[in-house]
Every structure is written in structure tokens, then in C-alpha cells.
Structure 1
Amino acid sequence: MEPTSQTTLGGQDFGARALDGRVRARLGARAAEMARRLAGDGIVAVALTWVDVSGITRTKTVPVDRLEHAAAWGVGMSPVFDVFLLDDSIVSGRHIGGPAGDLRLHPDLDRLVPMAALPGWAHAPALRYAQDGTVHPLDARALLRREMGRLAERGWTVKAAFEIEWAVSDGEGDEFSPACKGPAYGMTRVTELAGYLRDLLKALKATGVTVVQLHPEYAAGQYEVSVAAEDPAGAADTAVLVRETIRAMTTAHGMAASFSPKVEADSVGNGAHVHLSLWRENAEDGAVNAMAGGPGPYGMTGAGESFAAGILHRLPALLAVGAPSVASYLRLIPSHWAGAFACWGLENREAALRFVTGAEGERATAANLEVKCLDAAANPHLLLAALLAAGRDGLSDDRRLPQPVEVDPAGLSEEERAARGIAPLPSSLAEAVAAFEADGVLREALGEAVTDTVSAVRRGEIALLDGATPQQVAAATRWRH
């Protein structure tokens, strides 16, 4: 793990002013060799991507023979992209806004892969630097690595994975028409789109993604893919790569994919649940999962419980990062398996925090937390940075979990919920932003520039969709993420 002040780029550790001449030369030499191999494999261009504050994957692309220069010197981009809204209109914050300024995008060579779903193209997530070689304060990938480093200083690592849900349309224009008609979770939906799903699985494997399972979901035309857990930075990068692979393969099959929290106003939305487990290296046993083998609730260790309790405690504020669109709150409703109440429970899919033990015999490796109240409008790197910060604070405070909830909280009376300390999560983006702005732990972890920019973008979207009906919100959001 990197020290707190560092991030990585292409396998090299860097400090606050890392991009000196020697580093640039090493990056350029490595990229030149990679470019030769890529060109030999038919790759003609590399997409350098980052996810903005509104959760949209943006890109600058370079021909493969410019990869060497891009790795050493970066590709120019305007900082103003951080204050784009989902409709590409622009707001301003105290730290970001206006036409002036420039950043440099540097491809992370360790994560550069050919995209099987986009023949001739490769993908590389980018780190964003100022022209003087310092890391840009709104670079969410750098923020995430910093939070990983803070946990590592205390001897902890985290494994993480995103579940990706999406809905497939074969309709024309912007309207949504489900591309399969079979029942929820039905084999019929696999049969209807078997060729598409087969090609998607092949493309993900060829791109280096380990798929754990793929299945039809509840809503019309909806599917979900689960991937193997990895370190948080890798998990966030993989989430972006999976989504773009799905998008490309869906387009290649003459259809469209929507990752929106609410594809249709009267249907179940798309989530992007996050799975987390806390680990410590033990001299006798190797890596040990703190979510299993302990005396705490359902086998958690004390540290595992504290980590989970820290996340549960900060869920209202975390929603401004993890359920960050107006459409998110059309999805986040009770009795829809969205986790609309700030509570936790063993395998309870109505709790915002679901504890998963795994099958008897593999709990030492399988036990984890699932955060269910999140969706794909989130920037995955920023979201994981915030989740790790919340868990780290729970460790610092030795925080304990309340009693678990075994039922749908919506089925309890208000008096019963109050007696058990079960509170509804924010029901609007404005409520979540207010909780986020008041949260000192997240403000310190993410920094003033990120905190202010997140708030500015969220308030911009609230104003943009003020007075819109649920149908209009769904339509405005459907094809943006």
C-alpha cells in the first residue's frame, strides 16, 4: 500500500510533485513498448477515461502511436468538466468553474487493456495532474488510493466489488422498450438474448474481468453482473470497464443499455451495490477476514463490526456520493430491495446494509458487507473513498452496530422503528446534500475542493429538474450514465 501522500501511475509510486523528468522518461519508455505491442494486435486508439462528479464517464482519446507522449506528458483537459451536470450544462463552485485552466490526463499503464467489445480500441483509466506535476485535488482515483493508504497505515486492507445492473432496450429513439419479455429472473430472458449475453461474457473475459455470475433481474429487460472482489482502486476501475464493455456490446447487438437509477418511473430501478470486506495480514494465518471468525454479530470481529458501524452511521451523508442524482430517490423507496432504511441485517435485502456470511465452510473468505442503497450514477472511485473513510472512522471510534433487523422495516410501525433506532434514509437529493455538507469526517477525507464541487453539482441537478414529474426525471436521466 502507498503512504498517505502518494498515488500510483503505471506501477510507479509518486509523491505530491512526482512527475519529474526521470519519471516522465520511464513512463514514456514503458508506454512506447506497450504501444508497439498494441499496434501489432490491431489497436489503433486508446481511450483515456475519468468519471466526473455527476457520475458520467468522460474521455480523451489518443492514437496508439501517441501513447508514449500521453504517458510522459499527459493529454490536456479543462478542469470545468468536474462541474458538468448530467445534461452537459455547467455550474460553478468555489474551487472549479469557468473556461480558464488546464489539467493533464495520464493513462494508468497498469490498467490499460484492449477492449474486446470495441475492436481496435484500448481503455486506460486516467490520473489527473496539474501542469506542474501535482495531483489534481478532484482526482477521485488519487483520493481513493489515499484512503487505502490511511487504512494500510493501521494494518488494514479492503476487498471490494460492484454489482452492475442495467436494462436493455430495443426501442427507437430515447424511449425505453425492454428487449426481452420473459419473467423476472426467468431463464426465458437468457434464451431471448442468449447470443448477446454470450458475447458479453466472452468480451469481459477477454478484457481481463473475472465474472462471478450473470443473471436476469427483476425489472423488464434488466440484467445484473457480479465480478470478483479486488482492492478498492481496482474494483472501481473494473466497474467503469464493465459498464463500458456492456454499453459497447449492447450497441453492437443493435440495442441500448441504460444504467440509470430509474429507467422508467413506474418500474424498479438499477442499483450498483457495493460489497466490502476488511482484512488484516496475520503472521500465522496470512490474510484474515475481519468479517468472520470473531465474537461479534454473526461472527464479525470487533474491527469488522466497527468498520460496518462506521458506514451505517454515515449513510445519510454518503448518499450524496452514492445515490447522487434526482432519479436516485425515485429508486430508493421502501419494499423494493433498495435499502431505504438506515439499518442492517443478516441477508436482509430491505436493509441498507446487508451482512452476507456466505455458505458454511467458506465464511472465512466470503463474509462481507453489501451496501444496497447505491446506484450507478455514482463516481465509483469517489464513492469507495467515502465508504473507506466512513469505515475508518468507525474503527477509530470503536463504534458498535445496533441490533440487526430481520424484517422489512417498512412493515413496522413508526413507533416500532423509533424504538429500534431505525430511521429512513433521505428521500430526496437535497436532504442527502445537507447531510453530506454537515459531515466533518467526509469533508476531511475528501477535501474542501471535492466537498464544495459535489455540493455545487448536486444543487445544480436539483435546480435543473425542479418541478419535473417522475416520468420527466426518468426520461432526462435514462441514457446519461
Structure 2
Amino acid sequence: MDKYQVVRKAKSEQIRLVRFLYCDNGGIIRGKATHVDKLESRIVEGIGQTLAMQAFTGVEQLATVEGMGPVGEFRLIPDLDTFAILPYVPHAASMMCDMVRTDSVPWEACPRTFLKRMTHKLAEKGMRAEAAIEHEFYLARKDDQTGQFAPADSSLCYSSIGLDEQAHVIDAILEALESQSVGIELFHTELGPAQQELSVQHADVVRAADNVCLIRETVRGVAREYGLYATFAPKPFLDQAGSGAHVHLSLWGGETSEYPGKNLFYSADERGGFSQLGKYFVGGVLKHVRGLVALTCGSPNSYRRLLPHYWSSAYGAYGYDNREGAIRIPSLFSGREAKSANIELKCADHSGNPYLALGALLAAGLDGIEKRIDPGEAQEIDPGNYSDEERERRGIQRLPTTLTEALDELERDTVLTKALGEQLTKSYLAVKRNEAEFFKEKTPEEETAQHFYKY
């Protein structure tokens, strides 16, 4: 849509406020809203934000980052194609935004711009990326006297009982997402009580990241209408299963490639229909995975989920339909083999900024393709069942066990930091080290409680 179509749509739907949204380094969705009467001009000129917002942490502190203090501004410039009417609040709509400097140049510290930059790098090589996320979340109730959250029901994994228990709120969530043009694939109850999983259709990788934000906002907003709280926190209940945001990604031939429109991860002659180029991509991801998780699992709470034998991935390994490795190569679907080839990154959750997570995933995979990195042998068993000596022989590394350890790995990974750029690397590390320090002296219960509402 152009700006005139957006303004006409907003006014015809009696929208009063349009939210200009972004996801920050802390993984928090933030923004400001313009009145519809000012929408046409704001689309062009944007909404001003202090540069310090990219140094703002998920614990509402300001990390120390040079150039991100009280002086200076950037502008939130909306992507008009993301315009969505919000069905869970009155007279409101939203758009996802890029961060742009006051001289109209994209700001180097913008996560969404980073992902777009990686898609341009792909395009230069005749490729494009599609992605979809498996969204795991809990529905909960809050005790008004104690302030404690508890699962909204006692449903069992994949049980129809759970589908019945939350049928009305889930139907309302799906209806709200459909009205915002999010294509639904699958829905089911997960391992934990009142834990849900929603799978959506693949999309261009930037749109897929936008959808992550849209889905988080919509699920939480609709749940509130039913007196429930929805949380995407990685480990919202210490005694229950964690929630991931498994990334499914595939590479396709671009318009200028030798194979336009072809799924480059598919090869009928290879095991599982997975191509050699795909294996190089996997090799790159595994080479960089210990730094990558600092971006895909972006909170101290994340590392309570990444444990051996919990089907969340604790080791830098891959396998065909192996759900304990960092990367699973899913089996193909009969009749659409060529279209269904993809990889699943399991060490990811919603506390990571989706633009940073997907952009870094592409950077790691592209390094594998450019350097023809061999991912090694596919693992046929849970890597956690090997001895330490056997894992070392096979080159299988344990993923970081704390956010601080992951940040140290990211800081040492020159491929990822070069892709991110100096400003984004500097601000992200500062924000996340601030959060890690904040929770260092907190109890597990305090940490969990703070992450519950945040995500």
C-alpha cells in the first residue's frame, strides 16, 4: 500500500491511534502512537526517539553505550505493508518500523535494517530466504492477592482436553491473526499445562520477523480480553517445560539465479532430500552456534530451558528428525518434497530479537556456504547420551549454559560481529551484559517472575 491507501484505510475503519512499533535489543516490543489526523505526515517524517532507546535494557535500565545517551535522535519510519488493524483494542492499528537517522540514512543500530542488509547479501548471491516460527507460549491466571501466576489449566501434551479448555480464547486468537493476514498452519497443546504451540506459514524472512512481533502482541492482547495472561518467556514456570521459538528456514533461488524459484535446500539425490548447499549452511550454523545463541536465546531465563534431554537442544549437533540437536533436518512431505525441505533451529526463543536472530542465522549459514564448511556426521541419537569423550571425538560442543557465556562467544565471533556491525554489536552486548548482571544476584523465582510479564 502507499501512504494514501493506508490513511484512507485507517480513517474508513475509524482508527484513532496508529502504533509505530519496533523490537529493541532487549527483545521488548516498544513504540509510540500517532493520532490518525497526523498519520500522513508521520509516515514520511517518522516519529522521533532518543538514541538511548537502543541502550535501554529489558530490566528498564540504561546501559552505558557511547553515543546512546541523552543527546541525539532517530526516527521510526513505518513499513506500510505491515499496516494491521488491531482487533483486540479499540480504534487502533500498528505498523512495524525501521530506525532511520535524522539525515534519512538507515541507522546502523537498527535490528530490522540488519536483517534487510542480510537479505540484500543473499540477493547478491542469487538467493532469498523464507522462514516460519513455531510459537510456544503459556496461558496463565494471576492470583490478585499473591500476584503469582499459575497455568490456566492442567491439560496434557497434545491432548484434546487442552484444546477444549481454551477453545474460545484460542479461536479468538486465530481469528485475530487471520484478520491481520497471518496464515495459520497448525495449533496444538504442548508439554506443559496450558502451554500452547502455534505454527504459521512461511514468509519472506523480514516478514517472518515482523510476524513474530505481530503474533506476540496479538496473543497477549486477546488473552487479556479473556482474563488470561499469555507469556512467551523461555522458562515461565521453573517446574514445567520451557517455551521455544523454533526457526524453520529455507533458501530459494532468486530472480537472477541459475535456478529461480527453486528450493536450494532440496536435492532428490541426497539423504532426506537435503542438498549439499544445505549441508554447508548447517556447517556454518554449527560453527557459529555458540555465539549465535546469544542472539536467538537472549535472556538469562533462556538458559534454564537449554538443558540435555529436554528436547530443547543443548548441543551443537544436527540430525535428520533428531529433536535433541541444535538443528533438525525435518523429513519431507509426500507430494511436495521440493517445497518442504528446510532446517529447524531449536535453540531459539522469544526473548531474542527476531530480526537479530534471523539475520545472524543467515550470516552463519552464508559463512558455511562461502567456506564450504562440512557439518560432519548427522547424529542418530540424543547427543546427550554420548560420553564427554565421545562428544569431543565427534566435535559436538555443549551450548553455553548462561547468557554471559553466550555473550563472550558472540564477542569473539568475528563473522557474526562483522555482519552485525560495530554499533549494533556494541549496543547489544552492553544491553545484554547489563541484564545478565542485574539477574546475577536474583533468585530463580525472582528471575522467572520478571521474565514472565516481560515476554
2:396 matched residue in structure 1: 422
CA distance, structure 2, for counterparts of residue 317 and residue 445 of structure 1: 13
C-alpha contact 2:51 2:67 (8 A) present in aligned 1: no
Which amino acid counterpart does residue 460 of structure 1 have in structure 2?
N
Q: 1:338 aligns with which of 312, 320, 329?
A: 312
C-alpha contact 2:123 2:254 (8 A) present in aligned 1: no
TM superposition shift of 1:470 = 1.8
* 1:104 equivalenced with 2:75 (yes/no): yes
* 1:402 equivalenced with 2:376 (yes/no): yes
Instruction: Write the mapping of 1:165-204 to structure 2, written as runs, cut at 5 A.
Output: 165-173=136-144, 174-204=147-177
CA distance, structure 2, for counterparts of residue 295 and residue 37 of structure 1: 50
Which amino acid counterpart does residue 117 of structure 2 have in structure 1?
R
- Determine helix, strand or coil for the equivalent of 2:132: strand
* 1:289 equivalenced with 2:289 (yes/no): no
Which amino acid counterpart does residue 271 of structure 1 have in structure 2?
G
C-alpha contact 2:156 2:190 (8 A) present in aligned 1: no
Deviation string, structure 1 residues 217-269 (Cα, Å, up to 9, x no partner): 11121101111101110100011101111011001111111111110122211
Q: TM-score, with normalisation over the residues of structure 2?
A: 0.96
Structure 1: gaps of 5 or more residues = 1-9, 11-29
CA distance, structure 2, for counterparts of residue 95 and residue 219 of structure 1: 44
* 1:274 equivalenced with 2:247 (yes/no): yes
TM superposition shift of 1:468 = 2.1
Which amino acid counterpart does residue 117 of structure 1 have in structure 2?
Y
TM superposition shift of 1:296 = 4.2
TM superposition shift of 1:294 = 5.0
TM superposition shift of 1:281 = 4.6
Q: 1:213 aligns with which of 181, 186, 189?
A: 186
1:23 matched residue in structure 2: none
* 1:60 equivalenced with 2:32 (yes/no): yes
TM superposition shift of 1:136 = 0.9
TM superposition shift of 1:156 = 1.0
CA distance, structure 2, for counterparts of residue 93 and residue 454 of structure 1: 9
* 1:85 equivalenced with 2:57 (yes/no): yes
Which amino acid counterpart does residue 179 of structure 2 have in structure 1?
A
Q: 2:122 aligns with which of 112, 128, 151?
A: 151
C-alpha contact 2:253 2:259 (8 A) present in aligned 1: no
1:21 matched residue in structure 2: none
- Determine helix, strand or coil for the equivalent of 1:134: coil
How many pairs align?
Answer: 452
TM superposition shift of 1:286 = 4.7
1:460 matched residue in structure 2: 434
> Please, which moves more after superposition, 214-223 or 469-478?
469-478
CA distance, structure 2, for counterparts of residue 223 and residue 254 of structure 1: 17
C-alpha contact 1:105 1:127 (8 A) present in aligned 2: yes
106 and 191 in structure 1: CA distance in 2 versus 1, 3 angstrom threshold: same
Structure 2: gaps of 5 or more residues = none
CA distance, structure 1, for counterparts of residue 139 and residue 433 of structure 2: 30
CA distance, structure 2, for counterparts of residue 100 and residue 222 of structure 1: 44
Q: TM-score, with normalisation over the residues of structure 1?
A: 0.91
CA distance, structure 2, for counterparts of residue 294 and residue 147 of structure 1: 28
Q: 2:103 aligns with which of 129, 132, 139?
A: 132
- Determine helix, strand or coil for the equivalent of 1:309: helix
2:414 matched residue in structure 1: 440
Which amino acid counterpart does residue 468 of structure 1 have in structure 2?
K
* 1:116 equivalenced with 2:87 (yes/no): yes
1:50 matched residue in structure 2: 22
C-alpha contact 1:258 1:478 (8 A) present in aligned 2: yes
Which amino acid counterpart does residue 358 of structure 2 have in structure 1?
L
> Please, which moves more after superposition, 298-307 or 192-201?
298-307
TM superposition shift of 1:284 = 9.0
CA distance, structure 1, for counterparts of residue 33 and residue 258 of structure 2: 48
CA distance, structure 1, for counterparts of residue 226 and residue 66 of structure 2: 44
C-alpha contact 1:274 1:370 (8 A) present in aligned 2: yes
Deviation string, structure 1 residues 388-413 (Cα, Å, up to 9, x no partner): 11111111101112101121111221
C-alpha contact 1:307 1:395 (8 A) present in aligned 2: yes
Deviation string, structure 1 residues 21-74 (Cα, Å, up to 9, x no partner): xxxxxxxxx424422222111221111100010100001001112111111111
1:18 matched residue in structure 2: none
TM superposition shift of 1:287 = 1.4
The share of aligned pairs that are identical, in percent, is 34
* 1:38 equivalenced with 2:10 (yes/no): yes
* 1:164 equivalenced with 2:135 (yes/no): yes
TM superposition shift of 1:216 = 0.6
C-alpha contact 1:107 1:124 (8 A) present in aligned 2: yes
TM superposition shift of 1:300 = 2.1
CA distance, structure 2, for counterparts of residue 184 and residue 82 of structure 1: 39
CA distance, structure 2, for counterparts of residue 118 and residue 227 of structure 1: 23
Which amino acid counterpart does residue 199 of structure 1 have in structure 2?
A
415 and 284 in structure 1: CA distance in 2 versus 1, 3 angstrom threshold: closer
2:196 matched residue in structure 1: 223
Deviation string, structure 1 residues 172-218 (Cα, Å, up to 9, x no partner): 35422111222122111111111111111111111100010111111
